[in-house]
Chains A and B, each alone.
Chain A
Amino acid sequence: MAQRVSQDMVAVTALEPDAELMLRVKGGDAASFALLLERHRVPVIHFLYRMVQNQAVAEELAQEVFLRVYRARLSYEPTAKFTTWLFRIAMHLALNCLRDGRAERGHASLDVETQENASRQVPDRRPSVEQDLVFEVKLAEVRRAIETLPAKQRAAVLMHKYQELEYSQIARVLSCSESAVKSLLFRAYETLRARLAHLA
């Protein structure tokens, strides 16, 4: 009995912390779900925002991500890292949204001063109006450059750069091999270097 208990404990501690929390959610622990939400909502929203480039749509999609996580709690099995599973759901929703063109309907034009762009707070370190304008132009170029990437390349770059996921994780999220991920990243960065190198 004691041996079996310690073996079970070893099995549990071998799991990553997020998977442990999700198993507690499976057992009905609402506080564990709240903790997972607190840890992961910001990265998920930021990833979705950079994918669809619309904050309202990104938040709506992020809500759907966590809703699906919650719905799937009773059938959850820790077969992969929790973040891999989470970003796979997020990526699928983002791709569907891009295919449906939902992000474009509310999309702020990059060439026009909009509510979204105007709401950016100017940091104190850039007091000059000219510097603000240069910054906004640079930002618009970055957003445009990312927007022109094919969806899978875009997702790979965002996960690699901002979420700092490993190639193996990105491969599982995109359902492809590691070498395919490296190829996606190589082509994506090649495109970005061509479009953004002059900003240096």
Chain B
Amino acid sequence: MQCPVQNRDNADLLLAYCARRLDAEAAAVLERHMQQCEACRAFGEAQKAVWAALDAWEAQPLSEDFDRRLYARIRREEEGSFWTRWVQPRLPLNPRPALSLAVAASVLLVALLVQSPPPASRLAEVEMVDAEQVERALDDLEMLRQVNLTPRAEPPVTQAM
């Protein structure tokens, strides 16, 4: 067989062997090769040492109230808002595309609102303009009335040719 240490394509054979996941036939072939190949033998022994060290690393036992705390969190969510009860369970695990769309739509809406002033203020403007115009018109009328009451000015003298 091709040396697994030299040929990286076969290196996972050694990994599988050291993880005790290689089938019996393949393991036997590899062991025969290891008896002849110094590099593979050293590789195998070093890998076994790694596994033994990793085996020694036991995980901590979990807390006794782990389940109780989890169910309490679930209950809190179940009793929560409309969002957590009805919308969130139906969202995909990755809501980023939907969120991006929502943000874009919000920005567009704000932009539209900023550009077009609300009708109420426009109405107020029109009302203001009308009031001013009326006042001016009244002043003009008053002025004209006063002009009509003064004596007529002498007609201009036209010079004879």
Which A positions have Cβ atoms within 8 angstroms of B?
Answer: 37, 41-42, 45-46, 49-50, 55, 59, 62-63, 66-68, 70-75, 89, 116, 135, 138-139, 141-143, 145-146, 160-162, 164, 167, 182, 185-186, 189, 192-193, 196-197, 199-200
Count class of interface residues, chain B: 35 or more
A142 B91 Cβ-Cβ under 8 A:
no
Q: List 7 A-B contacts (CB under 8 A).
A: A45-B66, A62-B66, A67-B73, A89-B93, A138-B56, A141-B53, A192-B53
Whether B155 sits at the interface, judged by CB under 8 Å, is no
Whether B12 sits at the interface, judged by CB under 8 Å, is yes
A45 B50 Cβ-Cβ under 8 A:
no
The 4 closest A-B pairs by CB, nearest first: A200-B49, A46-B59, A193-B46, A197-B46
* Shortest CB distance A127–B (Å): 17
* Inter-chain contacts of B60 with A (CB < 8 A): 49, 55, 116
Known: A49-B59, A59-B66, A196-B49. 10 other contacts (CB 8 A): A41-B66, A46-B59, A50-B57, A50-B59, A71-B77, A71-B89, A142-B53, A185-B15, A186-B15, A199-B49
B56 A135 Cβ-Cβ under 8 A:
yes
A142 B63 Cβ-Cβ under 8 A:
no
* Shortest CB distance A80–B (Å): 12
A63 B73 Cβ-Cβ under 8 A:
yes
- Which residue of B is nearest A145, CB measured? B53
* Inter-chain contacts of B92 with A (CB < 8 A): 72, 75
Given known contacts A49-B60, A67-B70, is B50 in contact with A138 (CB within 8 Å)?
no
* Inter-chain contacts of A142 with B (CB < 8 A): 53-54, 56-57
